[in-house]
Structure 1
Amino acid sequence: MKVDLLIRNGRVIDPSQNLSGHYDLAIREGRIVGLYEKGKTTDDQGMYLESQETIEAEGYVVTPGLIDLHAHVFPTKTSLGVAADRVGVEQGVTTVVDAGSVGLWSFDAFLEEAVHPSVTRVLAFLNISGDGLCTGGGELADMSRLTPREAVALIRKQPIVRGIKARMSGSVVKQNGLQPLLVAKEAAREAGVPMMVHIGNAPPKLTEILPLLDQGDVVTHAFHGKKGGMFDERGELIPEAQDALERGVLLDIGHGEASFSFQTLRHAQAQGITPHVISTDVHQRNIDGPVHSLTHTLTKFLAMGYALDEVIAASTYAPARILGLENEIGTLKVGACADVSILQLKKERTILTDSEQETVETKERVVAYQAITSGRVLTCK
């Protein structure tokens, strides 16, 4: 069998198939057509594969294309946005999900200026406010600017929109309390998509927000270090969070400028709570630190004692399932889109910083080497 690309001898980690070992990966016409044990690269008839291009991946880690579930990639219309490829394929990430930068009224511009020009696959959680972040913050302070019915209609015709975003911080909702969340939740239910909820400073309180969320909804910034988070003053999980986890609500890192704390993560580890998704909330104010990139964020979790297989699962298969695309991306299954990340575990002393300015030192970091999107090979910067 002739294939377009063969990735040989890499250490393959694919949590969607519980695979961790040395395999060869074959790609043809933008799809994965074979995954073979090292040294057994033959087709069904026992014939060796012929490849137009071969990548020798000995010493590298080969994973499904990394997915950043929370990013801001609408630079032409928002002050926070960064170019999708800068935080996408150039950093080994094949899919980025814009988390609420775009609302209904700027969606056409988002397609033309952020989605279509990008090599990186760009998806979106649509802001329940028609403004999105295009007029700055406080987008949920005026209930008349929420667009639930129109959002449902857009989701039904635009497959890049995978859910609805609501930022439930006091500075965003002002005097509206829980009302924007109730509107967003009703729209998400009608459209049959998950909702991503930003949590931060009250009001409203997290104890009021969590009971309103359904199985499959995502709490982003779940491990921030602010008051009123998932853990009380003693570091114990609050009852509403326990109930939400049992109900199937999912926890996303959403690192960001001010939303990830090593100490909060330690509280979670002590109680056996693991984040479902590791994402960056990368934007203009944190790309030069403390976030930098998804691989830099993954490095923080390795430094905190998580296994490599765990952090790969939380940045591939887990977000793909939330997006409803687990048979297309976030996997190396035969027939899936040929999105692949080739990573290196580089032995190098690195100081890692959270959003509270606490530092952790590590001797090994994750570095992106190449990104392959729909079979197209790009070398990372």
Structure 2
Amino acid sequence: MTTDLLIQGGWVIDPSQSINGRYDIAISGGRIAALAEPGRLPAEIGGARQTLDASGTIVTPGLIDLHAHVFPGRTPLGIEADRVGVEQGVTTLVDAGSAGARTFATFLDEAVKPAETRVLAFLNIAGEGLCGGLSELADMDRLTPGGAVALIREQPLIRGIKARMSASVVRENGIKPLLVAKEAAREAGCPLMVHIGNAPPALPEILRELDAGDVVTHAFHGKTGGILDDRGRLITEAEKALARGVLFDVGHGTSSFSFRTMRQARALGLAPHTISTDIYRQNAAGPVHSLTTTMTKFLALGFSLEEVIAACTAAPAAVLRMTDEIGTLRPGAVADLSLLELTNVPVVLTDSEREQLTAEESVTAKLTIKAGKVLTCR
């Protein structure tokens, strides 16, 4: 077998295989051919057409951002996928509800196909998605559950359904859009991602409707009525939701991540299942910036590098039901990799509540490898 690309000298962290050490990685035909300790690649791995010296970098499965908005020109939030994808070390972006059943074809043509970055989607239960504004669930007639289910069955890029359940989105409809979205997700056999924010509807009411594998994004916001009560304890409905397998995602965004809430949750033994950005045009300049900046915030909060990488690789791959394809460096998986640097230059970080935190070390992206193709990060 001729190897297209041989990566040598890097420190490999792949939580999907409990790997944390120096390894060589052989890539052939856009997939991982082999991974072994230096000098121990199988004999059948032939000479490499290209060799990459990864010394000084941390090599991980390609980073996955489970919550982004990459439908520019059609929605108020959209940003170009590659700008926050491969150019920032992220090989897979999941657009969280920018498009609905009526706008997905345009999303496919304008956002997915032109991108080097893999773009997947949680389909908005509202037919227009965010193309008609940011109160898409205020009119129940705009919901298209039947169209969503039919499209999910024919379009593998759609990995679930999205419902934004905060007061400004649902207006007078309360919990009703969520009930429609949940029924559609059950019928389609896919997870539901739920945006939480300001009530109504109240968070306990939302959490009671969710099943194992469903995702609560913005779970660690600093607003009133979140997962913690006024004494810093986890609310009963959150405890019950976690116990039955509901997953808590970061979804940083402009106004949806609080250092204080995260510290309190961590003190209770609660970590996010997935770390995502909710990155879009307005917050790419701050406070979000990038997935690697968000990862840096979690290092500064005391999470280990392996925990942070797992929450951006193996964990989101499992949510997407794609563990054999992405989020791993197992032989046969797509050769998506992120080459990261961990620098010891202090950096000041800001959350959505404008609280600042100084990180003593930071994660930056050096190179992205997408299906075996080496790309330079900006």
The two structures have a TM-score, normalised by structure 2, of 0.99
Matches within 5 A, 1:1-381: 1-44=1-44, 49-381=46-378
Alpha-carbon deviation of 1:106? 0.9
Gaps of 5+ in 2: none
The amino acid across from 2:30 in the alignment is: G
Distance 1:218 1:187 in 2: 15
Distance 2:15 2:204 in 1: 33
Alpha-carbon deviation of 1:110? 0.4
What is the number of equivalent residue pairs in this alignment?
Answer: 378
Q: Is the 8 A contact 2:34 2:42 kept in 1?
A: no
User: Secondary structure in 2 aligned to 1:181?
Assistant: helix
Distance 2:168 2:75 in 1: 18
Distance 2:364 2:112 in 1: 25
Alpha-carbon deviation of 1:76? 2.1
Tell me the percent identity: 63
Distance 1:280 1:43 in 2: 42
Distance 2:166 2:248 in 1: 17
Distance 1:262 1:43 in 2: 49
Deviations 1:260-284 (A, max 9, x none): 0000001111100010000000011
Alpha-carbon deviation of 1:351? 0.1
Q: Is the 8 A contact 1:76 1:113 kept in 2?
A: no
User: Secondary structure in 2 aligned to 1:100?
Assistant: strand
Alpha-carbon deviation of 1:39? 2.5
User: Secondary structure in 1 aligned to 2:77?
Assistant: coil
Is 247-256 or 100-109 further displaced after alignment? 100-109
Alpha-carbon deviation of 1:2? 1.8
Q: Is the 8 A contact 2:57 2:341 kept in 1?
A: yes
Distance 1:224 1:97 in 2: 20
Alpha-carbon deviation of 1:41? 2.9
Gaps of 5+ in 1: none
Alpha-carbon deviation of 1:185? 0.2
The amino acid across from 2:4 in the alignment is: D
Distance 1:263 1:66 in 2: 26
Distance 1:141 1:79 in 2: 17
Distance 1:354 1:213 in 2: 27
Alpha-carbon deviation of 1:136? 1.2
Distance 2:96 2:206 in 1: 18
Alpha-carbon deviation of 1:104? 1.1
The two structures have a TM-score, normalised by structure 1, of 0.98
Alpha-carbon deviation of 1:43? 2.4
